[in-house]
């Protein structure tokens, strides 16, 4: 990150210098003097060339070290762009810097622009444009990946994006204006004498030595890339011979992968969603997992992993590890602590609806029971872990039954059904989801029950009716949701499950809309706060029974 920032600072300074070409040739020339003053000052030059070497080395190392390239597009793109910069820029660097160091040749803007816009074939100009865009894009992606996890920077993103577009645009325009200026003056008497001397261009012999150095650089650099790829292939063969291990994701699934992959790489290889905001760079800790069973067989955390775990207060718990750093050597069972982000997908689905539209929806509130007591007797970290597992189990069940987890409030979820279904389907889906939630929580209890003083319990309230869809909140904190009396009633029904001693409380109206017979479920009348009339509801002691009631009604219909 540090070396990347140094290189980005150089690029920024160089681009701002180019942008002065929009003012005048003199401004361009004055700018380059400042630029050189700064970057050729010995300590800065050592820092800069050291950063170039380390950064390029890290790029080659990443090419070797990453087992899995099925990252989101932005990450392989950044690596490819970064690795291509040396090949695109080497001739420019040799012509300007190395020629100065070896032979004292003084090439500045007039000589460089003359070469690009007058002497060389026109594709050289486009090559320069390409290298500017490639280097800038690579730098911006690196900055974006670094800054996107910093709350302050996230707020500044629109401004940073504007700068990321504006600066190279001005630089390219300045470069073009400088070129036009040279084309205009190149044929003027005396210009060639002033700007094309041997001191400024070097001799033919010097140029051919520089060309040979350039060729050697290309061969050497491509050789290093080839070596990295050969080393990857050899390591892959070796790892396959080393055997496979099984990774078990909680109660969900088990995969087999060769030894040597990180847990995150294994997830990516098998298309298993896994939170990883920093892209596996051990910066964000969102990929962390809780190892189930004895963690003593695992390789010890690297210093980088230990540092991140310490910084989140998990340094003393050997069962918490970073999935992007842990390379298990034996079978491993674990649970990701953070659910993968599906917020974007949910928002996209929600956006398909017309905001402000009034329509029938089923609202379901699901609440974890006893979380306050749990928080009193457990470490905060453990409580967060259990609540997240519960919310993940509920969300999966809701999604599997055609619903959408819409909001998470503390240890509870508001789920919506019917965003793309008829009222009858929405009601039936919600009833089936209540049963699926019970099954998922039962699985969760059998999986982490030994860690709990008492099994996880829950309450569900479900009601359907007309709601208004809309985005509520403030500025970037807007949430798509449903507003209306039926949502409030569902929340109150969920509250009442405690008093009535049941797991799920459905409104009888919802039962009827779902097409279940009046005697399919038990009923009773209750007073609902804020409603004049009492309401007929169906208290369900065991939510799993709801699936059977639905199946019976389907059989009768058939
Ligand atoms: S993905 Fe960010 S720390 Fe592992």
Tens-binned pLDDT, residue by residue, of the chain (558 aa): 899 999 999 999 999 999 999 999 899 999 999 999 999 999 999 999 999 999 999 999 988 887 766 555 677 888 899 999 999 999 989 999 999 999 999 888 999 999 899 888 788 899 999 999 999 999 999 998 888 767 677 778 889 999 999 999 999 999 999 999 999 988 888 888 888 888 888 899 999 999 999 999 999 999 999 999 999 889 888 877 878 899 998 766 889 888 888 999 898 888 888 878 777 888 878 788 888 878 888 999 999 899 888 877 777 788 889 999 999 989 998 888 776 654 444 444 444 444 456 789 999 999 998 877 777 776 676 788 888 889 989 998 998 898 888 888 878 899 999 887 889 999 999 999 999 999 999 988 888 777 777 889 999 999 999 988 776 666 556 667 788 889 999 999 999 999 999 999 999 999 999 999 888 899 999 998 777 889 999 999 999 889 888 888 877 766
Between the CA of 448 and the centroid of ligand 1 the distance, in Å, is 25
| Buried/exposed 500-522: b ≥16 CB within 10 Å, e otherwise | bebbbbbbbbbbebbbbeeebbe
Nearest Cα neighbor of 289 from 343, 252, 257, 260 is 252
* String of DSSP letters for 191-244: HHHHHS-HHHH--HHHHHHHHHHHHHHHHHHHHHHHHHHHHHHHHHHHHHHH-E
Coil, strand or helix at 404: strand
CA distance linking residue 249 with residue 339, whole number of Å: 12
Confidence (pLDDT) at 423: 92
| Distance between start and end Cα atoms, the chain | 64
Between the CA of 364 and the centroid of ligand 1 the distance, in Å, is 33
Largest Cα–Cα separation, the chain:
104
CA distance linking residue 222 with residue 17, whole number of Å: 31
CA distance linking residue 19 with residue 109, whole number of Å: 13
Q: Which two tokens stand for residue 296?
A: 């003593």
Nearest Cα neighbor of 435 from 510, 541, 546 is 546
SS (H, E, C) 57-104: HHHHHHHHHCCCCCCCCHHHHHHHHHHHHHHHHHHHHHHHHHHHHHHC
CA distance linking residue 16 with residue 175, whole number of Å: 11
Q: Strands, E, within 42-142: which ranges? A: none
Angle at 86 between CA 49 and CA 147, to 5 degrees: 75
CA distance linking residue 19 with residue 177, whole number of Å: 9
Contacts 24+ apart (CB under 8 A), 35-40: 38/13, 39/10, 39/13
502 lines ligand 1 (CB under 6 A): no
Confidence (pLDDT) at 350: 42
Confidence (pLDDT) at 509: 95
With both helix axes pointing from N to C terminus, report the angle between 74-93 and 42-65 in degrees, rounded to the nearest 10.
Answer: 140
Between the CA of 288 and the centroid of ligand 1 the distance, in Å, is 7
Confidence (pLDDT) at 477: 62
Q: Is 522 in contact with 488 (CB distance < 8 Å)? A: no
285 lines ligand 1 (CB under 6 A): yes
Q: Which two tokens stand for residue 415?
A: 């789920």
Confidence (pLDDT) at 70: 55
With both helix axes pointing from N to C terminus, report the angle between 380-400 and 423-448 in degrees, rounded to the nearest 10.
Answer: 140
272 lines ligand 1 (CB under 6 A): no
| Mutation to probe ligand 1, out of 68, 74, 268, 285 (largest number of atoms < 8 A from CB) | 285
Between the CA of 140 and the centroid of ligand 1 the distance, in Å, is 20
284 lines ligand 1 (CB under 6 A): yes
Q: Which two tokens stand for residue 147?
A: 């800054």
Confidence (pLDDT) at 348: 44
3 lines ligand 1 (CB under 6 A): no
Between the CA of 542 and the centroid of ligand 1 the distance, in Å, is 40
Confidence (pLDDT) at 342: 46
Q: Which two tokens stand for residue 403?
A: 């619903």
Question: Between the CA of residue 427 and those of 490, 503, 521, what are the distances in Å?
Answer: 13, 17, 14
State which ligand 1 atom lies nearest to the alpha carbon of 284. 2
Half-sphere exposure of 65 (CA within 13 A, CB side): 13
322 lines ligand 1 (CB under 6 A): yes
Q: Are strands 535-540 and 504-507 parallel, antiparallel or unpaired?
A: antiparallel
Sorted by where each starts, the structural domains of the chain and their CATH numbers stand as 2-185+195-234 (no CATH), 244-336 (3.10.20.30), 343-557 (3.30.70.1230)
| Mutation to probe ligand 1, out of 145, 274, 282, 341 (largest number of atoms < 8 A from CB) | 282
State which ligand 1 atom lies nearest to the alpha carbon of 285. 3
CA distance linking residue 171 with residue 162, whole number of Å: 14
Cβ count near 17 (within 10 Å): 23
280 lines ligand 1 (CB under 6 A): yes
Between the CA of 105 and the centroid of ligand 1 the distance, in Å, is 47
State which ligand 1 atom lies nearest to the alpha carbon of 324. 4
Q: Is 494 in contact with 365 (CB distance < 8 Å)? A: yes
| Mutation to probe ligand 1, out of 150, 262, 280, 305 (largest number of atoms < 8 A from CB) | 280
Confidence (pLDDT) at 260: 84
Between the CA of 285 and the centroid of ligand 1 the distance, in Å, is 5
Q: Is 132 in contact with 168 (CB distance < 8 Å)? A: yes
State which ligand 1 atom lies nearest to the alpha carbon of 280. 1
Confidence (pLDDT) at 502: 94
- Rg for the chain, CA atoms, rounded: 32
């Amino acid at each position: 990150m540090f070396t990347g920032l140094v290189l980005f600072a150089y690029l920024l300074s160089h681009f701002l210098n180019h942008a002065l070409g929009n003012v005048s040739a003199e401004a361009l020339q004055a700018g380059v003097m400042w630029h050189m003053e700064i970057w050729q000052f010995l300590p800065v030059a050592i820092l800069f060339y050291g950063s170039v070497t380390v950064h390029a080395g890290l790029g080659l190392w990443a090419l070797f070290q990453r087992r899995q390239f099925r990252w989101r597009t932005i990450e392989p793109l950044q690596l490819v762009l970064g690795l291509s910069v040396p090949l695109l820029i080497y001739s420019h660097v040799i012509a300007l810097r190395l020629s100065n160091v070896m032979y004292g040749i003084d090439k500045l803007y007039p000589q460089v622009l003359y070469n690009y816009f007058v002497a060389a074939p026109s594709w050289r100009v486009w090559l320069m444009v390409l290298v500017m865009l490639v280097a800038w894009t690579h730098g911006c992606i690196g900055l974006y990946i670094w800054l996107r996890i910093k709350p302050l920077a996230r707020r500044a993103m629109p401004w940073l994006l504007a700068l990321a577009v504006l600066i190279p645009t001005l630089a390219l325009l300045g470069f073009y204006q400088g070129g036009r200026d040279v084309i205009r003056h190149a044929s003027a008497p005396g210009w060639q004498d002033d700007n094309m001397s041997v001191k400024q261009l070097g001799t033919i012999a010097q140029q051919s030595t520089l060309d040979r150095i350039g060729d050697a650089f290309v061969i050497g650099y491509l050789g290093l890339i080839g070596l990295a790829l050969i080393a990857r292939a050899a390591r892959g063969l070796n790892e396959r011979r080393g055997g496979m291990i099984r990774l078990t994701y909680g109660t969900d699934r088990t995969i087999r992968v060769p030894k040597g992959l990180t847990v995150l790489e294994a997830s990516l290889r098998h298309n298993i969603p896994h939170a990883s905001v920093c892209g596996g760079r051990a910066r964000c800790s969102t990929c962390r997992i809780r190892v189930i069973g004895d963690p003593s067989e695992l390789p010890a955390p690297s210093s980088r992993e230990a540092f991140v775990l310490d910084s989140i207060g998990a340094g003393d718990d050997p069962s918490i590890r970073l999935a992007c750093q842990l390379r298990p050597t034996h079978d491993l069972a674990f649970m990701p602590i953070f659910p993968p982000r599906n917020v974007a997908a949910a928002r996209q689905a929600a956006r398909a609806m017309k905001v402000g539209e009034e329509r029938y929806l089923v609202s379901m509130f699901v609440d974890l029971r006893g979380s306050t007591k749990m928080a009193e007797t457990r470490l905060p970290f453990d409580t967060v872990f259990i609540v997240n597992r519960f919310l993940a189990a509920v969300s999966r069940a809701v999604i599997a039954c055609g619903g959408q987890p819409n909001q998470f409030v503390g240890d509870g979820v508001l789920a919506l059904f019917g965003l793309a279904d008829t009222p009858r389907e929405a009601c039936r889906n919600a009833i089936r989801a209540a049963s699926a939630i019970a099954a998922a929580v039962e699985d969760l209890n059998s999986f982490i029950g030994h860690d709990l003083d008492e099994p996880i319990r829950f309450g569900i309230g479900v009601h359907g009716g007309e709601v208004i869809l809309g985005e509520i909140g403030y500025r970037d904190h807007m949430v798509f949701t449903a507003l209306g009396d039926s949502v409030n009633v569902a929340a109150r029904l969920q509250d009442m499950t405690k008093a009535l001693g049941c797991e799920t409380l459905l409104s009888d109206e919802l039962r009827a809309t779902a097409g279940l017979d009046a005697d399919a479920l038990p009923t009773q009348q209750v007073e609902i706060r804020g409603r004049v009339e009492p309401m007929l509801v169906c208290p369900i002691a065991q939510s799993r029974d709801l699936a059977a009631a639905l199946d019976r009604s389907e059989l009768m219909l058939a």
